[in-house]
Amino acid sequence: MVFLLAFLFSAPAHAFPEMVRHHYVNCNSCHASPNGGGLLTEYGRGMASEVLSTWNYENESLFLHGAIKPEKIPKAVNVGGDIRVLQVHREDRSVREGRFILMQSQVEAGVTVGPVMAVAAFGKPNRENQIEPEFTRFYLLANATETLQFRAGRILPPFGLNVAQHTVPTRQALGFGYDSERNTLEAHWNGEEWHGAFSASQSRLQSRIGENERAASFQLERFFNDSHRVGLSTWSGESDRQKRWLGSLHGIFGFTKHLYLLSEVVLQSKKMKTPRAEREEGIYHFGRFGYEITKGVHLLALEEFSKSNLKATKTQFVSFGAGALWYPRPHFELELTLNQRKNLQTSREFEDYAYLTLHYYL
């Protein structure tokens, strides 16, 4: 069960915040979404060839590898989509098991009319690796000015670091993992030195969150030397079951063109309403060092830690790992990580995990 929980809820979004080392300080250079992830802009597709991938040929990064000539697609239309699969292997003294998971299988399209863009992603894998005909996210994005954007729809509100690895404690354990898109209204300010965002949202009972949380979030990020991005986020939410407050400090550091670090620490303070209980404080952290040894090939060092109740040792989770990430050509992404994880709720010993993720985007 723990195995299932750990991986079924892993998934989507392919934001690359580490691109800040190439001075891409705001996500909307490459993504339609101001939070990053999802539908790529024309420029983002260009950079997939020029900056991200080991090899490429002309126009390879375009939709369907350029099979449809760009001039045949209306300028106002942007089409994409993702297939992401994961093979997980877990091993300890008593168990040795593997599992294949279809994490993402969707088409996504956007239409722009004047300053407004409508985007929707369709197709959602279920626990049996079958695709359900369901919209996973949809939104209207309005560019009020060059720097001010408003967005409304079913999306992930801005909070902390929006990384593709949704299993990390700062995402999944706090309700920002797979299938946690909420009905959200948000505003973004994307400046030369600052990024600010505010959101009001309500989660859905039908989602994996399983409760109706009404929340407000605020995020402020500062760019340093055009290669580092440091931010603070706050979250205040209340559902029928609990009331919680989150505070996050995160950083994306592009030390050189090759060496980078993504790190976040979140503090959660929550009080259960039913059943009534004492206030609980918890801490959640992840760190991901990367080194690009040659264009498109990255070595990774990973660490995660969480303690959902600072007063209860058994709520502690620790993970260390190493791996490699490869973008061989535009549209393709492969990641292999080997991890040692210890979850005191289930075992006092470390367990070995291996993850192989393959991601293909249209």
* Nearest-approach distance from CB 88 to other proteins, in angstroms: 35
**C-alpha torsion sign, points 35, 50, 260, 171:** positive
Contacts to other proteins from residues 18-77, by CB under 8 A: 22-26, 28-29, 41-43, 45-46, 50-51
Between 147 and 340, whose beta carbon lies closer to other proteins?
147
Q: Distance from first CA to last CA of the chain, Å, rounded?
A: 33
Compute the distance between CA of residue 253 and CA of residue 259 in angstroms, rounded to an integer: 8
Contacts to other proteins from residues 255-294, by CB under 8 A: 257
* Nearest-approach distance from CB 134 to other proteins, in angstroms: 31
Tokens coding 255: 């030390």
Between 10 and 190, whose beta carbon lies closer to other proteins?
190
Q: Using CB under 8 A as the criterion, what x/- string covers residues 165-194 for binding other proteins? A: -------------------------xxx--
* Nearest-approach distance from CB 148 to other proteins, in angstroms: 10
Contacts to other proteins from residues 217-236, by CB under 8 A: 226
- Residues touching other proteins: how many (CB under 8 A)? 22
Between 191 and 328, whose beta carbon lies closer to other proteins?
191
Pairing state of beta strands 280-294 and 297-307? antiparallel
Cβ contacts of 226 within 8 Å, gap of 6 or more? 23, 25
* Nearest-approach distance from CB 28 to other proteins, in angstroms: 5
Spatial contact of 78 and 70, defined as CB atoms under 8 Å apart:
no
Burial class (CB in 10 A: 0-12, 13-18, 19+), 208: middle
- The interface region with other proteins, picked from 17-25, 267-275, 334-342, 349-357 by CB under 8 A, is 17-25
Between 50 and 240, whose beta carbon lies closer to other proteins?
50
Between 259 and 338, whose beta carbon lies closer to other proteins?
259
Between 128 and 146, whose beta carbon lies closer to other proteins?
146
Compute the distance between CA of residue 203 and CA of residue 218 in angstroms, rounded to an integer: 17
Q: HEC profile for 249-286?
A: EEEEEECCCCEEEEEEEEEEEEEECCCCCCCEEEEEEE
Q: What is the DSSP letter of 157?
A: P
Cβ contacts of 305 within 8 Å, gap of 6 or more? 169, 283, 284, 285, 286, 316, 317, 318, 319
Compute the distance between CA of residue 181 and CA of residue 28 in angstroms, rounded to an integer: 19
Q: Using CB under 8 A as the criterion, what x/- string covers residues 102-121 for binding other proteins? A: --------------------
Compute the distance between CA of residue 118 and CA of residue 104 in angstroms, rounded to an integer: 21
Place of tokens 């050509």: 329
* Nearest-approach distance from CB 193 to other proteins, in angstroms: 9
* Nearest-approach distance from CB 325 to other proteins, in angstroms: 20
Tokens coding 56: 């490429």
* Nearest-approach distance from CB 170 to other proteins, in angstroms: 25
- The interface region with other proteins, picked from 140-148, 231-239, 258-266, 316-324 by CB under 8 A, is 140-148
* Nearest-approach distance from CB 252 to other proteins, in angstroms: 14
Between 51 and 356, whose beta carbon lies closer to other proteins?
51
Between 257 and 279, whose beta carbon lies closer to other proteins?
257
Q: What is the DSSP letter of 150?
A: E
Between 60 and 303, whose beta carbon lies closer to other proteins?
60
SS3 state of residue 78 = strand
Between 228 and 307, whose beta carbon lies closer to other proteins?
228
Compute the distance between CA of residue 10 and CA of residue 183 in angstroms, rounded to an integer: 21
Q: Using CB under 8 A as the criterion, what x/- string covers residues 143-162 for binding other proteins? A: x--xx---------------
Helix (H) or strand (E) segment spanning residue 219? strand 214-224
Judged by the rule CB under 8 A, the positions of this chain that interact with other proteins are 22-26, 28-29, 41-43, 45-46, 50-51, 143, 146-147, 190-192, 226, 257
